[in-house]
Structure 1
């Protein structure tokens, strides 16, 4: 009975099982827990067994569901399509079992927040009569484009450009999500992002990991079509409002981190002198692109910290490159990105424009060079350069490669001169607005309180 008095309600949060989706949902979980709710984060059996996460606190606990591949996770599936299909079957069954388990406890589930990629979780939640909210990890702009395509309001293939969408700048084909810009690319993933809206009209609320002033016009346009609110940015509180005690990391990392090498090197460099290069957890650059990037970084003459994920990527580096850079550059397999982005030595983030990386940079006032690869990244890059004006987008040649001279040019534009100063000023403005959004009484904070009131009153 005492537990019931402590917690206002019990929320079950179900992320898609990849790092870029676990991070924002986990941070949202901690934000809810700070407001007196009991939170259960349901990760897959495979992630739980391999990463053995500790329970973060009494108010955020870890539980599991199955994706159908308990021994090997995604790598065990024969195809993307097979993984998504099996996860729907196994996930629906085990999610229902999890809700049933808590039904007879002192804290039954009151609300399910599900990653919109797992659209089937809504049907499970509604089968138990629960309040259910879809959590979208990408920008309002990208989500709105997918919404319009799903409902036939934006016809494919796009036959004429530029494309005019309410609340957005005019978009060329290269500014659209890659599934639209390149017809037939990764059809299983394209179906998944469109399926986010297959039943979203039945969700009680749509939560988006952005903040209102960052995308106010798009948010206003999208909210006319669905009950949507902004609740971001979902960074650890230490980097924003610092209202949540000991919240200085994402807590559940799927990659092994050794941050001492990175931070020790970074701490020896002058303020604003380092270019940080990272393309996230999924991008895989072609051999030729890795070589051009390597020589472009060296030609720029700035210090650089380059994250290259694994041995396969490392083997793409030009022969003798690592030995020849000396202390001018550091190449690592992974890095503590938030600590890097907030370090005084950092001057620029050379990024793939994935949304988590982009919103981290915006929230930490770091200007960018963006080299989008796929999915939402081309649209994010468009906003970085032309709407938020905090960076520059590289230009590809006729072979689809960004050459070393272009890489050097873009880095120097951000790191030096008047345009670089303007980008840094704009970045500081967006950081201030990010902090304002999550601080007490800010737009995102009010939206979270309103969301909670819908199933606690």
Structure 2
């Protein structure tokens, strides 16, 4: 019961930006369901909590989970300038960890139990000290790719190579396929608040009781081996999206439309919830789809009528194309008709493409996306990156031809099919991610 001071009480700290909150909340709900006697206090910004807990602070699905609002650091009436996309993040970082500390004490008082574990976004380097002061385990959750995590642990070595104008990272085990041009700019920046946070994270992660990853075992054995040698414990419990898979919501009729298409013929285009390519690249994609005569489904976040040249779209689409404001991505990528995925190479999208067994055409924009796109092409060989790093009509058409047709396309499909089997096997009742999840529950609530 909530008034028993001897019970377990897990504090969950989220990073309330981009796509960080949803996977952590989904994981916490699973742990809370597996351990109903354990209390969970979920700390995020007010704005984030309003979207995740519309009915109030109690969670509709988990009675033992309560949300708490953490101050985001923004002054009264603050409106982002729009000039600097990381401005809200930098404002938030000025007030950590004090904003978490004060609400943590309030949650302990309200729920009548001291914290017994800190489960946090891996970004929060300060959680290592907080956990140590309380003599409780710290369990950080890494939601991006394993190779990006390794890069943060190897930041000093990467900066040294960069400082001597090195172009490749072949001296670093696990990153030998990467080039300096694939590296996250945050790893090379020694001054700005966000990169400083990531550098501190890399220094303290070896203190964690376990690092939880949105990945599955044997996806990249060399990277995994390096991570295990540097961290106390690594628990691959992914792909998160499969536990449990989302219900089908298809208000725009994507699945019935795909049902009418030939097997492995459709190009699915989506750049996630944050990114929109510049106008000239959008035009290039449309022209390339027209040139290759590929049927396509485009999940377009924005005003498609205003932003995609209509005469081009009509020429490319005819009866072959469908543009929607949102698509049920996991279900789309799992459909037999989809033959290629044009993507920004965000880690969630890469995982969902693997789960669907769909080859990728990558055009990365920021963060770990360049590393992911490089791994897709050079490590797993399950897709290609757009030549030159940006969409042109020619480069996009060539990339689509490579993954959709011929011997190369056939080999790519075979390799991504093998990764699909590994991902699905990992979340089976006896799979590695299921076993690792059980070990996680034991660490967090034991």
Q: 1:384 Cα deviation (Å)?
A: 0.8
Instruction: Quickly say closer, same or farther: Cα 1:28–1:149, change in 2 above 3 A.
Output: same
Deviations 1:371-402 (A, max 9, x none): 22222111111211122121122211xxx643
Whether the 8 Å contact between 1:231 and 1:444 is mirrored in structure 2 is yes
1:365 is matched with which residue: 340, 357, 360?
A: 357
Deviation for aligned residue 1:80: 5.5
Give, in whole Å, the separation in 2 of the partners of 1:147 and 1:190. Answer: 13
Q: Which residue of 2 aligns with 1:322?
A: 313
Once the two structures are superposed, the pairs formed by residues 11-410 of structure 1 within 5 Å of their partners are 11-36=10-35, 38=38, 39-49=40-50, 52-54=53-55, 55-58=59-62, 59-69=64-74, 75=80, 79=84, 82-104=87-109, 105=111, 108-150=114-156, 154-157=160-163, 159-164=165-170, 165-179=172-186, 187-237=192-242, 248=246, 259-311=251-303, 315-324=306-315, 325-396=317-388, 401-410=390-399
User: CA offsets, 1:145-204, max 9 Å, x none?
Assistant: 122114777443461233222134333223323446xx6699554334323224324332
The verdict on how the C-alpha distance between 1:370 and 1:81 changes in structure 2, with shifts beyond 3 A counting, is closer
**1-side partners of 2:417 and 2:176: how far apart?**
22
SS of 1:31's equivalent?
Answer: helix
Alignment correspondent of 2:443: 454
2-side partners of 1:2 and 1:187: how far apart? 42
Partners of 1:330 and 1:73 lie apart in 2 by 39
Change (3 A) 1:410 1:81: closer
For 1:259 and 1:90, locate their aligned partners in 2 and report how far apart those are by CA, in whole Å.
Answer: 41
Greater Cα offset, 438-447 or 272-281: 438-447
How much does 1:82 deviate? Answer: 5.0
Structure 2 stretches lacking a partner, 5+ long: none
1:288-346: CA deviation from partner (whole Å, max 9, x where unpaired): 222111111221111111122223x7644235223332331122233221222122322
* Conserved? CA contact 2:173–2:226, under 8 Å: yes
Distance 2:75 2:9 in 1: 26
User: Is the contact between residue 155 and residue 199 of structure 2 (CA under 8 Å) also seen in structure 1?
Assistant: yes
Between the aligned partners of 1:374 and 1:205, the Cα distance in structure 2 is 27
SS in 2 for 1:259: coil
Instruction: Kindly indicate whether the alpha-carbon contact (under 8 Å) linking 2:90 and 2:193 is maintained by their aligned counterparts in 1.
Output: no
Count of residue correspondences: 437
Q: 1:363 to 1:258 in 2, by over 3 A?
A: closer
Give the Cα–Cα distance (whole angstroms) in 2 for the partners of residues 190 and 146 of structure 1.
10
Distance 2:67 2:241 in 1: 18
Contact 2:119 2:444 in 1 (8 A): no
Return the offset for 1:133. 1.4
Specify every segment of 5 or more residues in structure 1 that has no aligned partner in the other structure, as ranges: 239-243, 251-256
> What is the match of residue 253 of structure 1?
none
Q: Distance in 2 between matches of 1:216 and 1:72?
A: 49
Q: What's the CA shift string for 1:66-112, capped at 9, x where partnerless?
A: 22249889847885665334323545334224432443426653212
RMSD over aligned CA atoms reads 3.3
